[in-house]
Chain A
Amino acid sequence: MFEGLRALVEGLLTTGKEMVSKPVTYQYPEIKKPVPPRFRGRHELKRHANGLEKCIGCSLCAAACPADAIYVLPAANSDQERYSPGERYAARYEINLLRCIFCGFCEEACPTGAIVLEHDYELAYYDRRSAIITKTQLLVAPPQGEQGTPRDMPDPGNLYAAIPPIKGGVEPVNIVEMAQTQV
């Protein structure tokens, strides 16, 4: 009999504890839960410090995408209408968020760090078509005080002119040696 009584008390205690402890639920959408820094939410297309788009329209994200959710249509930059450093930019960039599995392969494949999975997770839509987000929705605003794109650039004809300088150059990294020393 004691056995049963003890179990009852223990059970009530557990229930009672939960009554006085802080609730784990959030009053969403009034209160939003902060996400971990490496959370993979909706994509953003980033810009360089000088306001040019990082995306060069190389389609490597689309090639890496296991869900075939990304569509890129590239075009050539001109000196009068420059979007990104170098020769090429993405004229169209679309992601079908219904297809996307948020694996982050696109981010890994990106050679310029243009596409980043950010922290927006509110991805509900009233129709399927709105789930395909376009470049205007993906592209972040230019940094404070910088022009957006397209724009004309000084030093026409110089394809390197538009690339922001890398401080101190790049020291060659021996990946093989690095891997060996870490082991």
Chain B
Amino acid sequence: MPKVTIDGKIIDVPAGTLIVEAAKPVGSHIPVFCYHPKMAPAGMCRMCLVQVGMPKMDPATKQPVVDENGQPVINWMPKLQTGCTTVVSEGMVVHTTTPQVAEARRSILEFLLTSHPLDCPVCDKGGECPLQDHTLHYGPGNTRFYVESKFHNDKAVPLSPLIMLDRERCIQCGRCVRFQDEIAGEPSLGLADRGRGLEVTTFDDPPFNSNFSGNTIDICPVGALTSRDFRFTARVFELNDYPSVCQQCAVGCNVYLGTRDNLIRRVTPRQNEAVNEVWLCDKGRLEHHYAHSPERVTTPMIRAESDLTPVSWYEALNFVANRIRPTLGESGKSMAGLAGDRLANEDLYLFQKLFREILGSNNLDHRFGWSQWNAGDALVKNFGAGVGTNLGELGKGVTALLLGADPQTEQPVLRLRLSKITRQGATLVVANGRATKLAQYASHKTIYRYGAEAYFVLGLVRAMIDAGLHKSDKANGATEYSAALNLTVAECAAKAEVSADTLKTIGETFAASENGIILFGREFMYAMQRDPAVEAALNALLILSGHFGRKNNGVIALYPRSNSMGALDMGMTPTDGGMPASEMLTKAKLLYVMGADPARENPAFKNPGFMIVQDLFMTATAQKADVVFPASAWAERDGTFTNTERRVQYFARALEPLGQARPDWAIIQELAQQLGAKWTYASAGDVMNEIAQRIPTYAKMTHARLQVNARRRASVQTVGGDAAEPVQMALGELIGVVSGAQWATFSETNADAKFDVKFVQPADSAQATAGVYLAVTRALLDCGALAQYSEIIQTRVPDASVEINSHDAEAWEIANGARVRITFESKPPRALELPARVDGSVPPGVVAVANNLDGTMNLPMGAQVQVTQVQVSQAIAD
């Protein structure tokens, strides 16, 4: 810990700290443009120049020379040093406020402003612009340059559908280029030309093709990169920034909803070092448009005769209550509730309470359709990653094992965070049935055969046991297990079609590592549901490795949606003999569908007799309903989501509800009251208080507690006051903010508990042995239920295609780009016609199709398919 003196204050900082970082805790402000705490220093802008001195050392004794007052003699460096590239060392003395430093800052700003257009009044960055702020604090009040000699360059260059580039405003700090290279890992931007003509360009086609491009807007220290979505809709000082949580995937990125005139104008990331750090993917940034879509349902509707007609809330609720009341006693069992897992915990809790306590039915589910598999719940409940685990900070001594997941398209920000952990010293193992983006960053990557997941995991267990690295102190039946596991590593490797050495290395690394985390994704959950042996094997791997019940140990299930985890916690599962979703859609007599659209995926879905739909839009399901309740969008109410790492996070209300829309929990309460319940929740916070009392894992998780660090952003208009956060974001003055709370798992709260390990023989399914396997993937930007309302997302949705291995393509005589027909067994029979993409991302015998694009909805994962080339029809040739 070197001891350094900064502006007369002595501070101990860890070795390797840069001067700019060391100066923050002592309150010395070093202005920067090109430096960003999340990226490697570049030393380009020269704004952070400071005076640095080192103690004079006596060459004989290697001790600092002291003067007559006993103070060390300081050798000042002849030139000012850049604080962003100079690492502190023992005894270093730094001055940040001397006239020399002030003069240097003034001259750098004067230089920057000579070619800056100074069109702040029309610039979207104006108000949260570091160049403005630094000029105000450190800059010259005037210019000595000639206006007519000013350098002019292109303005308003559309860099991509999302981003507008102003080359004149650019100060060539290269933050955007470095972000894309270092953090996003999608090197879409580059600098071209030289001297004053140095400019940011993209060589991509389509231009600036990155899912993280929006972050470059936030970190741009000037208005060179601005959002075309937000362009000229408001000045930043006119926005009200409400803290919220992104609703698009299970990562639960913290965001600010910037509103003006009751419209969301922009979504920007809110710092949470445990969730999204300071980043946000483009989907989360752009998908808010659905909240004020003109297609929203704004009044309750009931089916009178054949059409749905708008009625008052009183009528609609009465209509439903009258329909339900007579059947309350005996036929409650025929009622079923299906809720989407994008809804808040409060909604889901009241929904299940309505069914269990008022209607007397356990027919509840939130998982339906292609994407959700009822697997791994017990693993998460028992061995979920320990409280305090921060996936972005994994470093030395941690092995993270990622199974059957593709976070690049399904949990994008998690991918950003995981891709840096190998650099921090952690070991990242990526295993899937196909190649994924994250595998580029892995220490060990391997492609197993789809359908042989059980063998892959068993191979790891065997390798661990063979090496004697297993721990049996918390296991029941460890010795029996080891005897029952009648497979060698080589046999497992042969079944999974990976090399035995790889299995051995991964198994031993994971077991020997001090900490171990297993993340499994959608593709792995599918395997777990298909074959119980997979879950049993994973269970054994966890228990015998002892990687659970502590920080940086355990499992994380990468769920598909923002509150899948919360839905499980709230009890949205068919317990005690309730019907699961697959049954209720056909067997229930009365169906209450909240925030879900089963008819979208299954057009054959029918109204079972009486159906209540509670949604934002007139979905395919709502069109078949008897009653439609207009719900308010997530931005129109407050509540909590639980993300995939079990972190419960609060989101505030940012907008007035549209029309007569009401929060889901309030609608449920009204209905319950109509049915005679004595519920008196005045707010979502009241519901959460009850959750905190009744669900043990959520103890003490009240809104008040979750709101810590999730407050409205201070107005950026207060010049000279505390720097508001958006400015900090661009200035690069980030402090470690964390909000939300993780619940502790069973193995954490019961330290002495022992767990059973049981060997289950894997089923040798036909899928593992023959035929072409259909791997269902996801595209991040799609035309999904909510994304379809965002025009910018729609411009960037890729065309559907089928990925084919080059060996297969050769064997099947399919050229890259050729149209192919994919046929598979289903009822009714289906066939897809798609262009082929021949690349190395899938192994032979597997084809991959993203199933959320135009024409590829609702594909069966793991189906046996036939692939044939489509003959160019004569009609086209003529």
The answer to whether A and B touch directly, with their CB atoms under 8 angstroms apart, is yes
Using CB atoms and an 8 Å cutoff, list the residues of chain A in contact with chain B: 56-60, 62-63, 73-76, 86-88, 111-112, 159-160, 169-170, 172-176
16 residue pairs bridging A and B, Cβ less than 8 Å apart: A58-B121, A58-B122, A58-B126, A58-B235, A59-B238, A62-B238, A63-B717, A86-B119, A86-B122, A169-B147, A169-B148, A170-B148, A172-B143, A172-B145, A174-B144, A176-B142
Question: Does any Cβ of A come within 8 Å of B24's Cβ?
Answer: no
Complex Cα spacing A159 to B144, Å: 25
- In the complex, what's the smallest C-beta–C-beta distance from B235 to chain A, in angstroms? 4
Smallest CB separation, B163 vs chain A (Å): 15
Complex CA distance for A57 and B121, rounded to whole angstroms: 8
Say yes or no: A87-B152 contact (C-beta < 8 A), given A59-B235, A175-B141, A176-B141. no
**Given A57-B232, A169-B147, A169-B148: A111 and B142 within 8 A (CB)?**
no
Query: Do A74 and B232 have beta carbons less than 8 Å apart?
Result: yes
Query: Looking at chain A's contact residues, is the secondary structure mostly helix, strand, loop, or mixed?
Result: loop
Q: How long is the Cα–Cα vector from A175 to B345 in the complex, in angstroms? A: 59
Interface flags for B143-163 (1: CB within 8 Å of A; 0: not) read 111111000100110000000
| Complex contacts, B238 vs chain A, CB 8 Å | 59, 62-63
Q: Does B233 contact A (CB under 8 A)?
A: yes
Beyond A62-B238, A88-B122, is A76–B147 a contact (Cβ under 8 Å)?
no
Q: Knowing A63-B717, A74-B233 are in contact, say whether A87-B121 is a contact too (CB < 8 A).
A: no
The answer for the CA separation of A57 and B119 in the assembled complex, in Å, is 12
| B231 interface hit (Cβ, 8 Å) | yes
Residues of B within 8 A of A58 (CB): 121-122, 126, 235
Cβ-based interface call for B237 (8 A): yes
Interface of B is mostly: loop
| A75/B232 in contact, CB under 8 A | yes
* Residue from B141, B148, B235, B261 having most chain A Cβ neighbours under 10 A: B235
Q: Chain B residue with minimal CB distance to A178?
A: B142
A122 to B147, CA, bound (A): 43
CB-based contact B232/A88 at 8 Å:
yes
Tell which of B142, B155, B233 touches A159, judged by Cβ atoms closer than 8 Å: B155
Nearest CB on A from B157, distance (A)? 10
Please indicate the chain A residues that have their CB under 8 angstroms from the CB of B126 in the complex. Answer: 58
Listed from nearest, the 7 A-B pairs whose CB atoms lie closest are: A58-B121, A88-B122, A59-B235, A74-B232, A111-B121, A169-B148, A170-B147
Chain B residues with Cβ below 8 Å from A88 are: 122, 232
Q: Bound state CA distance, A76 and B142, in angstroms?
A: 30
Q: Are A56 and B121 in contact (CB under 8 A)?
A: yes
Instruction: Name the residue of chain A whose CB is nearest to the CB of B152.
Output: A160
CA distance A76 to B229 in the complex (A): 12
**B interface with A by C-beta (< 8 Å):** 119, 121-122, 126, 141-148, 152, 155-156, 231-235, 237-238, 261, 717
What CA separation (Å) do A60 and B127 show in the bound complex? 10
Alpha-carbon distance between A55 and B146 when the two chains are bound, in angstroms: 26
Query: A83 → chain B, closest Cβ, in Å?
Result: 12
Q: B142–A87 contact, CB under 8 A?
A: no
A57 to B142, CA, bound (A): 25
Q: Which residues of A have CB within 8 Å of B155?
A: 87, 159
> Could you tell me the distance between the alpha carbons of A59 and B509 in the complex, rounded to whole angstroms?
60
Contacts of B233 in A (CB 8 A): 74
Residue of B nearest to A56 (CB): B122
**Nearest-CB residue, chain A, relative to B237:** A63
Closest Cβ neighbor of B118 among chain A residues = A111
Our pick among A60, A76, A169 for the contact of B231 (Cβ within 8 Å) is: A76
Q: A59-B234, A75-B232 are in contact. List 8 more A-B contacts (CB 8 A).
A: A57-B122, A59-B235, A74-B234, A76-B232, A87-B122, A88-B232, A172-B145, A172-B147
Q: How far is the CB of A59 from chain B (nearest CB, A)?
A: 4
The answer to whether B122 and A63 touch across the interface, beta carbons within 8 angstroms, is no
Judge whether A175 and B232 touch: CB under 8 Å.
no
For A111, what are the chain B residues with a Cβ–Cβ distance below 8 Å?
A: 121
B156 and A159: CB pair below 8 A? yes
Please name the residue on chain B nearest to A63 by beta carbon.
B237
Contacts of B148 in A (CB 8 A): 169-170
* CB nearest neighbor in B for A74: B232
Whether the pair B142, A172 counts as a contact (CB closer than 8 A) is: yes
Minimal Cβ-Cβ distance residue in B for A175: B142
B122 closest partner in A (C-beta): A88
How far is the CB of A22 from the nearest CB of chain B, in Å?
A: 49
CA separation between A75 and B261, bound complex, in Å?
15
CA distance A169 to B146 in the complex (A): 9
Nearest CB in chain A: distance from B119 CB, A: 7
- How far apart are the CA atoms of A40 and B225 in the complex, in Å? 40
Report yes or no: B231 in contact with A173, Cβ–Cβ below 8 A.
Answer: no
Which chain B residues border A159 with CB–CB below 8 Å?
155-156
CA distance A76 to B232 in the complex (A): 7
Which B-chain residue is minimally distant from A172 (CB atoms)? B143
CB contacts (< 8 Å) of A73 on chain B: these are: 261
Question: Which A residue's beta carbon lies closest to that of B140?
Answer: A176
Task: Please measure, in the bound complex, the distance between the C-alpha atom of A73 and the C-alpha atom of B232, giving whole angstroms.
Answer: 8
Given known A74-B233, A76-B231, A87-B156, contact A172–B146 (CB-CB < 8 A): yes
Residue of B nearest to A86 (CB): B122
A residues near B717, Cβ cutoff 8 Å:
63
A69 to B147, CA, bound (A): 35
**Nearest chain A CB to B790 CB, angstrom units:** 19
- Assess whether B235 is in contact with A63, with CB atoms less than 8 Å apart: yes
